[in-house]
Amino acid sequence: MRADTKADAAKTISVLKKTFKEYYFNRSKAVEQPLKIEQREFGYMQCGQAGMLRHLSFKSMKELDALLVREAPCDVYCSNGYYLFPAEQPMQAKQWHGADLIFDIDGKDLGMPCVPSHSYFICTQCDKACPPENDHQGSSYACSFCHSNKADYVSIPCSKCIEGSKRETRRLIDFLLVDIGLERSAITVYFSGNNGFHIHISDDAYVSLEPQARSDLVSYLSGTGLILETIGVRKTNTEDSFSIKFPKSGLAYGWRRRIADKLKIDMTSAIKLKNIVHQYGGYEGFKRELEKIVKDMGVRIDPQVTTDVHRVFRMPGTLNSKSGLSKTKCTDLSSFDPFLDACLLGDGLINIRTKTQVKLKLKKKSFNISADSSEIPAYAAVYLMCKGLAQAG
């Protein structure tokens, strides 16, 4: 969030705070109670203030709800970890005894080609914004007003971005069900509140898993660290030469099956596989190619989120200060529309001044706002202010 002057910033913060407060007052039931609330650490951020207030603990949702209405935080977090003393500091004193397994799929990590067409540069020097241009690259940017080359890059995700994240989420769910063997009922999908999905796993067996083991699981899901020997290409002593010897245990399951399907090979295709390896210039060349193939077939999850067992993670049902949308449970991922189902703020009118011409669609209503003063529904006004593309008018 940025503003030309302190007064503008203060006004924008005040409007955001008021709208967030109304949300927490009217929709306290929307905030989901975490399992074993008394063992969790909580944290929150305040509008316009840097740094997170964390190491908090609550005995009940009632206490937390009271805080949400009182403070109207812009972001609310709850630990994935369980602690004996969640409010203690430093971390060791909390006495960790497990953490939920979580996954984060962020639309911005998917390299969607449509992103430049709905992203804006906001100059960090003069705070002016410029509309989307397909040929802009971060490094070649220069502000057309003050010529500074430093800018924030803000995106208003489009339906293609959301579809990309959904596709990635489905792929993750497929891995978790077919390979890892989780029950479908143990997997809950949430829209992150901005541009991605959070996948929460409720399976007690995974709670005590250490970061190293979670990291190994991440490698599996994201397709990192596969060695050629796994599919039967064995390096011989002479440089770059190899032999084919399929593993006795076969190619029928897991990554072996995925690669076998991709390369169209089976346990009888030793010669075919040998030719494929030669086609890529031998062992090392094929290794590089396979790394690419496997990475493409893997799921793009944020490794930090899954391996960090002390993370405070956005709470379901709370608002995301990057958009004003809510982190919302997706009971049916295919039909879930974040710009409708997670857009829960009211539609009372708020006056804003946008920094450039902006297009967006929320609650099935399209907005095309010129760089001027306008009165639009709270949910759209908050969205633009959270994106840094508008100030309270």
Q: 60-88 as b/e, with b when 16 or more CB fall inside 10 Å?
A: ebeebbebbbebbbbbbbbbbbbbeebee
State yes or no: is 302 an active-site residue: yes
Closer by beta carbon to other proteins, 149 or else 331: 149
Task: Tell me which of 100, 106, 127, 341 is the catalytic residue.
Answer: 106
Nearest to 202 by CA among 75, 46, 329, 326: 329
Q: List CB contacts of 79: < 8 A, sequence separation 6 or more.
A: 40, 41, 42, 86, 99, 310, 311, 312, 313
Residues that bind other proteins (CB under 8 A): 89-92, 178-182, 205-206, 208-210, 212-220, 222-227, 229-230, 248-250, 252-256, 294, 303-304, 307
State the minimum distance, in angstroms, from the CB of residue 304 to other proteins. 7
Q: CB-wise, 19 or 80, nearer to other proteins? A: 80
Q: Which residues is 152 bridged to in the sheet?
A: 122
DSSP strand pairing (196-201 vs 101-106): antiparallel
Shortest CB 109 distance to other proteins, Å: 11
Please tell me the distance from the alpha carbon of residue 170 to that of residue 16, in angstroms, as a whole number: 34
Q: How far apart are CA 218 and CA 101, in angstroms?
A: 11
Nearest CB to other proteins, comparing residues 51 and 335: 51
C-beta of 159: minimal distance to other proteins in Å? 28
Kindly tell me the burial class for residue 338, based on how many C-beta atoms sit within 10 Å of its own C-beta (0-12, 13-18, 19 or more): buried
Q: Which CB atom, from 92 or from 368, has the smaller least distance to other proteins? A: 92
The catalytic residue among 100, 104, 127, 341 is 104
Cβ(34)–Cβ(41) under 8 Å?
A: no
The residue (of 214 and 322) whose beta carbon lies closer to other proteins is 214
104: annotated active-site residue: yes
- Which of 320, 324, 387 lies closest to 356, judged by CA? 387
- Asked if 384 and 368 count as a contact pair (C-beta separation under 8 A), the reply is no
* Catalytic residue selected from 75, 127, 302, 341: 302
Rounded to the nearest whole angstrom, what is the least distance from the CB of residue 112 to other proteins in the complex? 18
Among candidate residues 217, 166, 241, the one with its CA nearest the CA of residue 196: 166
The minimum distance between CB 186 and other proteins, in angstroms, equals 11
Closest separation in Å from C-beta 260 to other proteins: 12
| Main-chain phi, psi angles of 82, to 5 degrees | -110, 135
Which residues does the annotation mark as catalytic? 104, 106, 302
